[in-house]
Structure 1
Amino acid sequence: MNPTRTEQPEPDTLHLTSFFGIFTHSLSKSKPLLTKLTLTLILPLAITFLSHIQISHRFFPHIENPYVITSTSSFPRHVSLSDWLLFSIFKIAYFTLLTLFSLLSTASVVFTVASGYTARDVTFRRLVTAVVPNVWKKLFVTFVYIYFWLFVYNVVSGGVMYATWLLFGYTVFGSVILFVIFILYVLGFLYLTVVWQLTSVVTVLEKIRGFKALKKGKMLASGKTGVGMGIAFILYAVLLGVILVYELFVEFGGEFAQLAMVWRVMIAILCVGLVTIVFLLLIVTQTVLYLVCKSYHREAIDKLSLSTFLSAYTEETVVLPKPGGEIQLGRVQAQVQPSAEMV
């Protein structure tokens, strides 16, 4: 990977990057190294994500949908302890693989895009053997915080919706209230998605993790929240559309569309490819959005300082700038005093 500096937006104008500009810059990062990372890390992530739907429907339909519908009525099917045990093992294995591939994909792609911004050369072998092992541990701590707040958000939102249903039932007024709550839930989820995505990039490119990274991600999101939410909405809408196509024409293709197996397999391959592209764009755009937000908040993104920080992951021998000559990543551009930390 050997990108030129002319391909990258300069720090002083980076904050002016528009909604479509972020997509343009993100797509321009499609280099051979990203292709290798996509095939080795993001493709398995997409396969894991979609195969979970297939396996759940094929082997655990009586747990995820406890009603067996017949021609006359529907009765809840008995679920044994062994069924729950197998289902729990399957879910644990699924979330373990999903988290593992998400960690590795995020760490490697964020590092690759940041290296492209600084015009650093990085090989696939060095990335896998040196960078990822040094990044995934700190990124895992941040992921734990993200999963915790995601769980809390969904539990509270679900509780509010359930309480509303208990109070108003299936009335017109109750339906309107539930719809409004759902819209607010989606907007809140998109906002949190932007914060969490920026938090992941902060963890890789700065010397903080966990709750401190969450606070930094929230701070960076302010001012560019609308742009970030718009990008997240488009990508998640595409992802939701692909999931619906997969369930209708692959999962239930024989019953719903009367498709032959060969067509269902071809649609499945297409869906895996689309999900892979969406996952790649999610990581790349969040990295570019991070750079845009840093510029918007007037935090210097000096390429030498960033390149020096990235070289620490690969344990390279680098020549540091003289004291006072560097521009730190986490400091406002108007300040020129040297900082004790790199970020």
Structure 2
Amino acid sequence: MMDKEPEEMQFLGVVGIIKESFKILVRYVRLLSALALVLVLPLSFAVLAHTLVSNPLIHKIKYNESELNAEEQAGSLDTVRIRNELYSEWIKLGAMVVAYVVFVLAFSLLSTAAVVYSVACIYSGKEPTLVKVMSVVPRVWKRLMCTFLWVYLVMISYHAAFVLSAVIIIVVDTKIGIPVLPFLIALVVIFLGVQVYLNVIWHLASVISVLEESYGLKALKKSVNLVKGKKVVACILVFFYMILTAIVSAIFHSQIVKNHHHSKTISRVFYGSILVLALSLVNLWGILVQSVIYFTCKSYHHESIDRIALSELLDAYSGEYVPLKGPIPMETFEV
């Protein structure tokens, strides 16, 4: 069980939430290490290592495209062979991208479901086990998938609006002659700020999709209301998580992907493994933090979760308890 009572968690800030997440990590290190090994580690490996396979293929495609242009200008008959090779390479690249997206999405959803369920068990006073957690994961991934699809739609719309705004600013600059750089800088700053906020909404909605009856668009709307009052704290934590993942990814790209001609295979494997483990720890910690943020926001709004109802909901997920009148929702009440 967590050290903090529900009514005490409303006072947690950035440092408090980080401490609480690390307490959970240390106290349940065996369970969380097993989940990290089974779910988070493959996810982190795929996120970092996919460029090791895709980059050589992309370079080969670029080389063949330049060769094809040269052969066409020279009127060579070898263009058919090169064009066939290009088609084959593009098909391979497309299949690789699809496989990567499906793999990362699947393990991301499964990792979130497993860790959030584990934290909820801890909060409700139940003892989570690896077998129980893994049996629950398939029951909630569809809810998480629905929520993700809505998030994906929102993200696409937001990025399209950003690109359109940048194009408008550049067009206005060419027409009127106003300096475009300050406006573009301001647009990028606003874009990054809103991007962090959208990630907060996404993470909270993921937890809601596992622990409550809401999912999809309904979970996103509930997440927007839930984060009010703790918006700055949540944004700081999510931004910190994004910075950590970016740092690990940048080191991997510069030292392992780009530096492959100047380093030995053994050293690349060693340092690459260290970086994959580091990203796995960051990702595991990130899911723990988003779970603690959820409980903190609930406490802040005086929506203390009834531990009995939560326990029954978790039992229903694992098949240990079946309510007589359908799923038991998590009840909220004013403290």
Provide TM-score, normalisation by structure 1: 0.84
Deviations 1:218-266 (A, max 9, x none): 11111111111101111111111111111111111145xx333333222
Aligned to 2:77: none
Q: Mean Cα displacement is larger for which, 32-41 or 144-153?
A: 144-153
The corresponding residue for 1:147 is 152
**Which residue matches 1:230?**
236
Give the percent of matched residue pairs that are identical in Structure 1 and Structure 2: 30
- Per the alignment, in what secondary structure is the counterpart of residue 229 of structure 1? helix
- How many angstroms apart in 2 are the aligned matches of 1:290 and 1:153? 24
- Write the letter of the residue equivalent to 2:309: S
Higher relative contact order (CA 8 A, sep 6+): 2
Corresponding residue of 1:249: 255
Q: Quickly say closer, same or farther: Cα 1:276–1:117, change in 2 above 3 A.
A: same
Q: Tell me which of 16, 19, 25 is aligned to 1:24.
A: 19
- Hey, what's the Cα distance between the residues in 2 that align with 1:175 and 1:97? 39
> Which structure has the larger Rg?
2
CA RMSD, Structure 1 to Structure 2 (Å): 2.6
Identify if the C-alpha distance between structure 1 residues 88 and 191 changes in structure 2 by more than 3 Å, giving closer, same or farther: same
Q: Distance in 2 between matches of 1:64 and 1:275?
A: 31
Q: Which residue of 2 aligns with 1:217?
A: 223
Please name the residue that 1:42 is paired with. 40
Match of 1:125 among 122, 131, 138: 131
Alignment of 1:98-177 (within 5 A): 98-129=104-135, 131-168=136-173, 173-177=179-183
Question: 1:253 is paired with a residue of what secondary structure?
Answer: coil
CA displacement, residues 166-192 of structure 1 (integer Å, 9 cap, x when unaligned): 4437x9932222221111111001000
User: Which stretch of structure 1 is more off in the superposition, 49-58 or 185-194?
Assistant: 49-58
Shift of 1:302: 2.1
More helix as a share of residues = 2
Tell me: CA distance 1:265–1:164, structure 2 relative to 1, closer, same or farther (3 Å).
Answer: farther
For the pair 1:83 / 2:92, whether they are aligned, the reply is no
CA distance in 1 between counterparts of 2:65 and 2:274 reads: 32
C-alpha contact (below 8 Å) 1:8/1:117 kept by paired residues: no
Contact 1:42 1:276 in 2 (8 A): yes
Residue number among 46, 51, 59 corresponding to 1:61 in the alignment: 59
How many residues are aligned here? Answer: 311
Return the alpha-carbon distance in structure 1 between the equivalents of residues 280 and 61 of structure 2.
28
Q: Deviations over 1:79-135 (max 9, x none)?
A: 944333222211111110011001110110000011111120222112212x11211
Structure 2's unaligned 5+ residue stretches are 67-81
**Take 1:144 and 1:66, find their aligned partners in 2: how far apart are those partners?**
36
In structure 2, what is the equivalent of residue 294 of structure 1? 298
Q: Which position in structure 2 is the counterpart of 1:266?
A: 270
